[in-house]
Structure 1
């Protein structure tokens, strides 16, 4: 618990004033809450002794009402300070976790399921809020109630007060034993909830695949199995949490019976305990029942909150493999686009993906990269944008190692169109303008849409550029998604433009028109085109042919055709396919 307090103290410190006001209000509330039974006891004694009359009865009533009113007002203030602060802290943690997510490498998101991450940002974060808010608020309130109650009870009768203290170690022992079990079972329950969230998210995202294969029943069965296991684990958790209140009630019932038995004898024998004092004592003890029963609930909140915080902490303590470090030169403010790979190799699990790769791409020129599937083409792009790091060798831009460039600058200056473009559930105009500052960008959006041959398609959409795309852009065809992603890259006016097989889903005629328009866009701009269709390289200054991570051929389009190697053979095959299609 001490470690959790240390972890969360920076968040608590920001709202120190709210918590101090809340604690002061809790003191006021506890004092006047326990004062009301004492006043009721005095009223009963006054009635028994015949001292109660029409004149002073209103004084007693006003004292009781006043004590309860002050206590209630103080409690309202608590809720507007401490509980409000707990919501603010939840927002702060959510923002920090989301910010940290944005710094993590793509590999982290490949290894972790989206559903699990969403569960941590929702259910786990809410459990942490309950720790900050109700748990702390009720924990302090219960402690103060016990202090003031026992103070007043000991003033009334020390012997009876000692009997009530018997319940404290009993309650503490029961809670300690049960909470150890609750912690383990709650963790297992949350893990299963993450599994359900992950499967739901994957099914919703891939609903077209599920329906396309007609396997809805199988997915429903899988979900039912996960859900049944979740219910099983929650019932297992409930069996540990369930006895808490019942055991508390039993303990309090036994203690109350002893108090009535012994206290009643004190009163009947005319001892030093009046009926009013005894009534006040019983009322105070009954007021203690909720605080002591509440200890179980508070302990449960602390247990759940600490478990959930540790799950969130796992995220916050995950360090990105690639980040700005001591080698970063923050004085670098621009990138021109002169690229050089020097003896670059890349290995995964001992297997070489790129092997001693060396090439240069002067500023303003274009480079084509092709080769068999799995030859390492996309890895070159991932290395250039520092999505991954090379196992050996250097990558230079303008003669400077890319590790010296701030990551934000490097990636901002590269316009990348990936193999599998991701579109947001927004309008097509906002998707295209995603990478540029907010403002009146409509003219720019329409201009780049024409460049990528998308403007005619958009005219046929129900609301034109304001047409809302479904999640991941499912309302568009594959070619339309690729062209939208291409427009999004071009509109940023990057120093380095990269198309990673970005024309694979468009027909050859559209490809020809796009490449013709791109020739003007790419003028005086460093550009890299990865493709399987060799027609994409007719206007590039240089083409690399990769095989098993090595450059096996290089030169211009015409030079490679003259060499009559793999490149020329593929070109002949593609020309034959094209002739057959035209026929």
Structure 2
């Protein structure tokens, strides 16, 4: 950066020198008093232009090197911060804005910053050097120019606040555009089947229209600064010519001196105009920087725990007086939950939608924190445990399987398990009833699953997630409606794989299909955030309570 600034200073120094050459050229060169000017001055002009070109090239290269390295580091910081955000941040549905920060805002920060820095340093040095030359040529004429410069600056400042507001609106609307297009891609089948073309087209048209209006407002403000600045320049030039003619008549200013002064004055207008116009880019840079650094400055999920498990984890989970209420909610999601899960037990959580089942299991990996009570694993308060140490003991298989656009082998041995051998991966796939399918593929374990595993069926995706959980071999397993979206044949295959996965592990199962949890050691029935019943399947049916009612309702539907 420092070297780039020095090179810009070198390029700036060549510009006023070209103006200074005008005085000896006109006063002595054309008079013929110094014949060597015939070759000396042309060589000087070529040399100065060559030096300026070399300095500009290397300063631009170095600035680009700095900007791209800053962009690299900034995006790394953003992504690290993104992965460490609390789970609640991702439920706000602001994915369009998040993507926009990476793809547009981060690039705008460094791109505009490079342009702004280049113009500010280079053009400021040029203006200062030219003002020195002007003062040397004629201080009277220079005072006129200096007087008009602040007027130009004041004119430009009137547009800065408006440009900043417009650019902030543009950033927000760009995020909305990203969201609309992303939803159009993800929901294309729904749009086609439910004839939502016109609706989506209207949404896209509205956002695009707003962006066009913001762009036109910004362009109007940018365009208005140029003619207003030129009017100030014209006034100053007219005043300079009038005063210069008066000095020429009195013999205090030669034709060469006036030509050199005008050459320097003519060169000063362009850098002043660029300095004036940089206000628009500077506002865009600042707005983009606000967006980027608001992500970098986001609060990370709490990880104040320092305790670690000593020895193998048994998997005893105790909920003691656990309650939870979401921010701005009028009632508790969970109230006074008392539950003990012994090592190796399978506990099923059932109840109506909204009864708090998912919130309860999400507390175990600390995706959600209780507002009251505590959760213990093997006697350790999970809030006191280091977050990575806690999550290393947990596996999750949910209805919404997340697979990465990579090979089958990479997905099974994902994350901290990337050193898993091919034999371990194949064994996990065999236990998940998926090895025969994988071996039938031309590339086997190296087969790409595609974006969102679009090349695999729902049952295959679930069994791949089960294989991933098997290879992790965590003592605590969470199954969140793992078979609810499958057909009967796929559900049967997945259920067999799940039974293998559950062996010897403490398992918490959330299920809407009560037929899948009849073999559970304990069935816990939740209603309105409270435990209303718990026991084995036969005992709960005999009690003829809420569980029996839910079971009878599903039996009738089946």
TM-score normalised according to structure 2 size: 0.91
1-side partners of 2:315 and 2:420: how far apart? 29
The match for 2:381 is 401
Deviation at 1:462, TM superposition (A): 6.5
Structure 2: gaps of 5 or more residues? none
The match for 1:95 is 76
1-side partners of 2:266 and 2:354: how far apart? 74
User: 529, 532, 535: which is aligned to 1:555?
Assistant: 535
Deviation at 1:488, TM superposition (A): 2.6
2-side partners of 1:213 and 1:428: how far apart? 34
Q: Deviations over 1:39-70 (max 9, x none)?
A: 243223222321242x4422222222222222
User: 320, 324, 327: which is aligned to 2:303?
Assistant: 324
* 1:410-559 equivalences in 2 (<5 Å): 410-439=390-419, 441-458=421-438, 463-559=443-539
User: 181, 185, 207: which is aligned to 1:200?
Assistant: 181
Q: Is the 8 A contact 2:320 2:338 kept in 1?
A: yes
Q: Deviations over 1:523-554 (max 9, x none)?
A: 33222222233343354332222222222332
The match for 1:41 is 23
The match for 1:165 is 146
Structure 1: gaps of 5 or more residues? 1-18, 579-583
User: 31, 36, 43: which is aligned to 2:13?
Assistant: 31
Deviation at 1:499, TM superposition (A): 0.9
Residue aligned with 2:524, SS:
strand
Q: Deviations over 1:222-271 (max 9, x none)?
A: 2112211221222122221211122222322333343344435544x372
Q: Deviations over 1:419-466 (max 9, x none)?
A: 322333333433333234435654333332332333444456575544
Deviation at 1:403, TM superposition (A): 0.4
Q: Is the 8 A contact 1:496 1:526 kept in 2?
A: yes
Deviation at 1:95, TM superposition (A): 1.8
Q: Deviations over 1:85-140 (max 9, x none)?
A: 12222222222222211111222122242112222223222332144312122101
Residue 408 to residue 85, structure 1, CA distance change in 2 (3 Å): same
1-side partners of 2:452 and 2:310: how far apart? 33
1-side partners of 2:157 and 2:310: how far apart? 58
Aligned residues: 555
Q: Deviations over 1:23-53 (max 9, x none)?
A: 2222222222221221243223222321242
1-side partners of 2:442 and 2:289: how far apart? 47
2-side partners of 1:379 and 1:283: how far apart? 75
Q: Is the 8 A contact 1:115 1:194 kept in 2?
A: yes
1-side partners of 2:209 and 2:494: how far apart? 53
Residue 576 to residue 176, structure 1, CA distance change in 2 (3 Å): closer
Q: Is the 8 A contact 1:365 1:525 kept in 2?
A: yes
User: 43, 52, 63: which is aligned to 1:82?
Assistant: 63
The match for 1:147 is 128
TM-score normalised according to structure 1 size: 0.88
The match for 1:345 is 323
